[in-house]
Structures are given as C-alpha cells and as structure tokens.
Structure 1
Amino acid sequence: MKKILAALLISFGLYSCDDGDITVTSFDFEDSTLQLCEIGNRKVLWAVNNGDVFESMSLELEDSRLNDTLTQRILTRGITDEDLEIELSETGNKLIYRIYDDEITGREYFCQGVPPGSPRVLEEYVSQGGIVIISTTYNDLAFENDADGDGLENGEEGFDPNGGNHLDTDGDGIPDYLDKDDDNDNIPTRAETGANPGEPTTEEGFLDTDEDGIPDYLDPDDDGDGVLTRHEVRQSDVEEGNIDPNSLSTSEDGTPNYLVEELQTPSFEHNLQLDHGINRAYRSSIQFRDLDLAPSDGRELNIRYDSYNWGRYVSDPVPFPQLTNQQQEIEDEENENEEDEDETNTED
C-alpha cells in the first residue's frame, strides 16, 4: 500500500476525479499504535512508517475536553459512554500527512516546537475539514488481564464482561478484579495467595493457613482462631499500606499475628482500611469521518475519506483512586462537616 500511495501522491494523476480529487480507501497507517506528546496546550498524536516510503501522520489538538496535562498520559478527561468529536481544519485542530527524504524519528520530530530541518519534507497534506472521533475505554478488561495488579487474572476474580455482576467477596463496593484486598482483612491479596513449600494450600494452589478450604486471600480469619485478621494487624501498618507480611505485626517467633492460631484475643481493634487506589491501563481509539486533506502548496489535488480508523493510543499505568463504601462514607461526612464549618464562619 505504501508504494501505491506514494505513486498516487507523486504522479497526481492516477484515479483522479473530474474535480481533481483523488479518492483512496486507506493509508498504510490504519490500525496504528499511536504515540502522544504535549507542546504547550496542544496534544500531538503521531504514527511513523520508515519502510519503502518515509512517511508520517500527525494530529494536533487543542480542546478543553482533552486532559489538562499529560503527567498521567491520558488523552481524555475520563471514561464516558459518549465519544469525543472534534472538528478538523487547516489551522488549530488539524491532521498532517507528510513524506520525507529520509528516515524519521517520531518523538524527536513531533515533540518540540520547531521540527528539525532534517529529514526534509517532500510532500505535505493538511486537513481542510473532517471530524476526529476519540473513544476512550479501559485497556485491562480481558479475562487474562490483572486490572488491580494483585497477581490474579480478572477471570479468576469473578469479572463479568457485561459489567453487571462482578464478584465482590467482601461487599465493600469494589469488585474483586479491582480490589487489592478482596476479603477486607487489611492484608493485600497479593501477599495472601502464594504458599511456601510445606504450607497448606487449596486445590487451586492458594495459601490456606487454617485448611478450611477458603484461600487466605478470601478468608477474613486466615488462621481460624476466631479473631478477624483485620484485628490482628496494627493500625500503623494499615496507614503505611504495608504489603510485606514479614513486616506486619508479629508474634514472638516472628510469625504475623494473623497467622498464629494460638493468639485468640484481638490485638488491634480499629476501623481503618487499606488505601484501595490502583493503577490501570486506558485505550483511546482514534477515527476520522468526512476527512479532507489538501496539498499545502495550494494544488487542487485533495485526498478524501468518508471514514478512516487511524489506530489507538494506550496509556499504562495510570493512578486509579477508588474508595470502599466505608471510606466513601467517611469522606462524605468529613466534607459535610467542612461545609457546615464554612457556613458557620461565614455567618460569624
């Protein structure tokens, strides 16, 4: 396709319509893996081919609906059911197609205010109109993915691809596939799954300290001593978000309290819960509709598409804050108290 496209652009005569337009069905950039950078208020997406023809497609966008900063490298502000549509023109929000005389390095070329003098641009086409459609979703929703990073695949944690019936073992409002502490015992799931040689396990191979058939990562009382695991973990450990069982509150022999059956009285009673924030991956799909590209030298030899699937931009990992039901209630109460206090100060 590259050779065909190059021939079209260089000969300017093949398959041309009466009005001088050239109609092609696709570029060699379709379904590309896109890159992203930020220059001032502009977001720049690009794809590069360095094969038979040295070429690029780049999209420059300025829109308040895009993410304010690329610190987290997300293209849009959030996940919504509605696609983001942005009009293209020759200036402002625009798509540019170029052919060069030599190999091009995308980040060096597109991520600075003034492009380098080399490689030299042989042909350039700039959008005259059209719509760019951006659809952003999560990129970690396959059964084999591990959205919460706890070492268990989504499919193992009761992920429902239809989104209506995800497993939530502890009923804290966060489904297991996004919950770093599936049983709400303040021991992260990742720290409760693996067993050392000789330690009891379930049939699936997960650690089962009290051999009750429930793996520790789903068992609110790991050692079966009648004391909830969460009451055998120090408050300071929860506040620090410790994930190493060996550094948690321990008995005299160095074994964590929550794994010692003989300790049958609560050691630490508190209502704190681990920070449930995780990192997630996002995917933004980029499509064009009614795209019109024209040579920048003024020749009337446009390239047009009714629709075109350019590709996708994947951002990973991105902080994903989330609260359990209890944590949300506490936060709401604190916000309400702050509002009441502000009203009282205003009246005074």
Structure 2
Amino acid sequence: MKKIFAALLFSFALYSCDDGDITVTSFDLEDSDLNLCEIDGKKVLWVVNNEDVYESMSLELDDNRLNDTLTQRILTLDVNDEPIEINLSGEGNRLVYRIYDGEITGRDYFCQGVPPGSPRVLEEYVSAGGTVTITTNFNDLGSNENADADGDKVPNAEEGFDPDGGNHLDTDGDGIPDYLDIDDDNDNVPTESEYNADPGDPTSENGYLDTDEDGIPNYLDPDDDDDGVLTRHEVKEEDIQRAIDENNDGLLSPELTAEVDGLGNYLNDQVSSPNFEHELQLDHSITRDYRSNIVISDFNLIRQDGSGEDIRFDSYNLGRLVVNNIPFELLTNRQQELLDAEEENEEETEETSTN
C-alpha cells in the first residue's frame, strides 16, 4: 500500500486499531473491475483486495431504473447520453468500506443472504450523502479497430460504422445498419457464411469472397452468382413452407439448395431453378456487450464504531462493470411491419369479441 502520509495528502488514507495493531488503508480500490449480485431486491456492486490489507468496497443500490432481475447479469440496459444518478441515503442506497482479519471471497460474502462468520469485520465505514453516477455504453463499439458488434467476423469499421454522426451504412436498406446486421445484403445467407474466401476462390479488392467477380463481395451482393435470380429466392418452395410451419429460420437458407456437385444454386450461374419468391427474413437479433462506469461524488465515509470519524471524497471512481453476450432484439423494417399488423389485428379481434 501507499505510504500513509502520501495518501493523507489526497484524503484517501485512514488507520484503525484492533487490539493495538494498526491497519493502514488508502482505499486503494478505485477504478476496479466490479462484480454484481442481487440480495433482498438490492443490486450490490463489489470489489475486494486481499493484498497487504484485506478490504472490500460494496455499493448497494435499490432503484427502479436498474434492471428488474439479474438473469442477464447486467446492471442496466439504459444506454443513452443521460447517465443514471442515484442519491446515497439510508439502507437502500449506500457505499460500504470494510477491513477484515483475513482473506475474503467476495462472492461468498456479498452474494448470500447471510454472510459467512469468517473472516471477521475489523472496521466498517458507511457513506453519508453523495451521488452515484452510472454511465452505460455498448462495449462492442470501442476504439479497437477489430470491434465487431454483430459478431459476423467483419469489423465495425469495415461495415460502415460512423462513430461521430450516426450515419451508418445500411447496404440492404432494411433499417438495420450493417455493423449490427447479421445479413448485410438481405439474402438470407448470414454475413459470417459469405465473407470468407478459401484458397483459389475469387475475391473482391479487400479480400472477401466474390463468386461472380463483379467487385461486390458476396456478403454485400444480393445476387452472388449474377444469374438474374436473387440469392434469397434460389430456394425450394417446400423448404419455405416448412420454415413457416416449423418456425425454423434455418430452412430459409439458399445454402440448402445444391443441384450440381454440391455447390449451392445461389453460387452457380448455370443453375437458376428451382427458385421461389418470398419475403421471409432471418431473425436478425444478436447479442451485445455493455460497460457501466460507476463514479461516486460528494460523500463522506463514516466510521461505524461511534467515534464519529469521517473522511470526505469529492469524487471516487469505483470502476466498471463489463457484461458480454446480452440478448439484443433487432427487427428489419419488414419484420416490424408484420409485427405491427399482427398486433393491430389482435386488437381488432379483441374489440370485436368485447362488443
């Protein structure tokens, strides 16, 4: 730990006595990778330190703007320009700092209704006043040039992601920008299945598979073999009917139709039949990564031994909670239209039944 005199200059240090022994801490838990639990309806963000001093910092929050349950392991899905601000007051919302007499396992201590009897708490400090600011952003849009929000193996930057103006590329005009679209050209063959070229395959200028050598990579080309039939329509009618009957998107795939040497019809310009025109689209829902940053400002930590000792903080960057692979629903324009029509029909049916 930092020397106590240096730490005091920054209002971070304190000492506590236990049977004559002096324990020194500098609250050296700032900017941490946080963990999340839910106990008695409250969300608990926590971090522990088992080096030199056995200590923990836990933030208990009870606010209806946070996620209802932790089944998704995430604090909030509220991603926008306005952060969530929560006042620290009473038992519902508070920051707690503790020092222990031995190594602490955070999940055992903070994620159970009754904490274990060991290790024993030597000192406890609880917040008075203050404001928690939670800022949540998508963690799959970072400065990393290989960030890939839709998981299709084509980086956001190469799919027309605009980090400044929000003018994102939408090749197929389906309402879903390419960087979030698992099927950029709306041909019912996922981008992940279309971008990669095997040795000897024709490629576009940027090295992606380009079967018809028209300069447009397959994952952006609605007619991959340039035979005049859209890739999405080079399917069998019975497959499409099964897709409807069985609610199975996999049966929409043109990859199922292979008439010559096992090569899909949609990649063979010599075969344009069978084909069947339809409007069905793959489910475009994906998973996203989130990052919540937690900063606490204008608060005191008060020692709970009756001494009245308190330490003031103008700002304390507790850290961040990063959660990956959270379900994220996406609907194409056409899918949204169908859903709206279905809901409208249900409302009309309900009104008719009531009358």
Same fold by TM-score, threshold 0.5 exceeded? yes
1:18: which partner in 2? none
For the residues of structure 2 that align with 1:49 and 1:31, how far apart are their CA atoms? Answer: 13
The offset of 1:258, in angstroms, is 0.8
Counterparts in 2 of 1:78 and 1:266: CA distance versus 1, 3 Å: farther
Correspondence for 1:258 among 236, 246, 266 = 266
* Distance in 1 between residues matched to 2:102 and 2:190, nearest whole Å: 52
Residue 264 of structure 1 and its aligned partner are, at CA, apart by: 2.4
Aligned counterpart, 1:14? none
Q: Cα–Cα, structure 1 residues 338 and 330, in superposed 2: closer, same or farther, change >3 Å?
A: same
User: Following TM superposition, by how much is the alpha carbon of 1:166 offset from its aligned partner in structure 2, in angstroms?
Assistant: 0.6
**What's the % identity of the aligned pairs?**
64
Calculate the TM-score normalised by the size of structure 1: 0.90
Conservation of the 8 A alpha-carbon contact between 2:254 and 2:266: no
Query: 1:312 aligns to what?
Result: 320
Distance 2:40 2:211 in 1: 55
Determine the C-alpha separation between the residues in 1 that align with 2:256 and 2:309.
70
Distance 1:346 1:182 in 2: 44
1:243 to 1:104, Cα distance in 2 relative to 1, 3 A: farther
Give the C-alpha shift of residue 7 in structure 1: 6.2
CA spacing shift, 1:243–1:162, aligned 2, 3 Å? farther
2:36 is the counterpart of 1:36 = yes
Structure 1 moving runs of 4+ over 4 Å = 236-239, 243-247
Task: Please give the secondary structure, in 1, of the residue aligned with 2:336.
Answer: helix
Instruction: Work out which of the residue numbers 189, 198, 201 in structure 1 matches 2:200.
Output: 198
Q: CA deviation at 1:261?
A: 0.9
Q: Select 1:275's aligned residue among 283, 294, 298.
A: 283
Q: Which amino acid aligns with 2:16?
A: I
Please tell me whether residue 241 in structure 1 is matched to residue 245 in structure 2: no
Q: Write the deviation string for residues 154-178 of structure 1: whole angstroms up to 9, x where unpaired.
A: 1111110014211111111111000
Q: Would you say the 8 A contact 2:189–2:254 is kept in 1?
A: no
- Residues 2 and 296 (structure 1), Cα distance of their counterparts in 2 relative to 1, 3 Å cut: farther
| Aligned: 1:328 with 2:330 | no
CA contact (8 A) 1:188 1:243 kept: no
- Structure 2, unmatched stretches of 5+, are 18-24
Query: Measured at CA, do residues 47 and 163 of structure 1 come closer, stay the same or move farther in structure 2, by a change above 3 Å?
Result: farther
Q: Contact 2:232 / 2:253 at 8 angstroms: preserved in 1?
A: no
Q: CA deviation at 1:50?
A: 1.4
Q: For 2:14, which of 2, 8, 14 is the aligned residue? A: 8
TM-score, structure 2 as length reference: 0.88
Number of the residue aligned with 2:113: 113
SS of the residue aligned with 2:43?
strand
Partner Cα distance (1:174, 1:345) in 2: 37
CA distance in 2, matches of 1:307, 1:244: 54
Is 1:156 matched with 2:158? yes
Report the secondary structure of 1:251's partner residue: strand
What is the SS of the residue equivalent to 2:127?
A: strand
| 2:171 equivalent among 154, 157, 169 | 169
| Cα distance in 2, alignment partners of residues 228 and 328 from structure 1 | 23
- Of 293, 300, 303, the residue aligned with 1:292 is 300
State the match for 1:19 in structure 2: none
1:341 aligns with 2:343: no
| SS in structure 2 of the partner of residue 122 of structure 1 | strand
How well do the aligned residues superpose, as a CA RMSD in angstroms?
2.3
Of stretches 231-240 and 89-98 in structure 1, the one that deviates more from structure 2 is 231-240
* Residues in 2 aligned to 1:189 and 1:82: alpha-carbon distance in whole angstroms: 34
Range that drifts further, 235-244 or 53-62? 235-244
CA separation in 2, counterparts of 1:7 and 1:291?
Answer: 15
CA contact (8 A) 1:59 1:95 kept: yes
Q: Which runs of 5+ in 1 are unaligned?
A: 12-23
Which fold has the larger relative contact order, with Cα–Cα distance below 8 Å and residues 6 or more apart in sequence?
A: 1
Matched-pair contact (CA < 8 Å) for 2:30–2:316: yes
Distance 2:162 2:43 in 1: 34
Query: 5 Å matches for 1:70-85?
Result: 70-85=70-85
Distance 2:253 2:336 in 1: 27
Counterparts in 2 of 1:237 and 1:336: CA distance versus 1, 3 Å: closer
Deviation of 1:40 (Å): 3.1
Report the Cα distance in structure 2 between the residues aligned to 1:267 and 1:244, rounded to whole angstroms.
12
May I ask how many residue pairs the two structures share in their alignment? 335
Query: Aligned equivalents of 1:2 and 1:90: distance in 2?
Result: 32
Change (3 A) 1:330 1:171: same
